[in-house]
Amino acid sequence: DTEVTQTPKHLVMGMTNKKSLKCEQHMGHRAMYWYKQKAKKPPELMFVYSYEKLSINESVPSRFSPECPNSSLLNLHLHALQPEDSALYLCASSQDQVAAYNEQFFGPGTRLTVL
């Protein structure tokens, strides 16, 4: 399996809801990433997990809470989001975060709308 999968594809939530985004890979990669992408903009890094430990948090608001239950799964828990958080949320994985040549494979994304 050479793909990163994400669920759900689309999510609409209110500002008081709690929801979770899920990401899975079976390539044996030990680094996993969450990115946020606004329309017509490049992906913006949010979090990096390396060997199931949080390695980088790009000063993301606490209403976004990442979790890495095991080496294949990555979750992003959402609570009390704002309309400006509406975006495409992309998961990615790579062999190892600190590899010099670090090809990242992206999932199809979850399109999130916050009402």
Partner 1 sequence: GENVEQHPSTLSVQEGDSAVIKCTYSDSASNYFPWYKQELGKRPQLIIDIRSNVGEKKDQRIAVTLNKTAKHFSLHITETQPEDSAVYFCAAILSGTYKYIFGTGTRLKVLA
* Interaction site with partner 1 (CB under 8 A): 40-43, 45, 48, 56, 90, 97-109
Which residues in the chain belong to E strands, given as ranges? 4-7, 10-13, 18-25, 31-37, 44-50, 53-57, 64-70, 73-79, 87-94, 105-106, 110-114
**Shortest CB 20 distance to partner 1, Å:** 20
**Shortest CB 80 distance to partner 1, Å:** 27
Please say which residue, 15 or 98, places its beta carbon nearer to partner 1: 98
Please say which residue, 40 or 84, places its beta carbon nearer to partner 1: 40
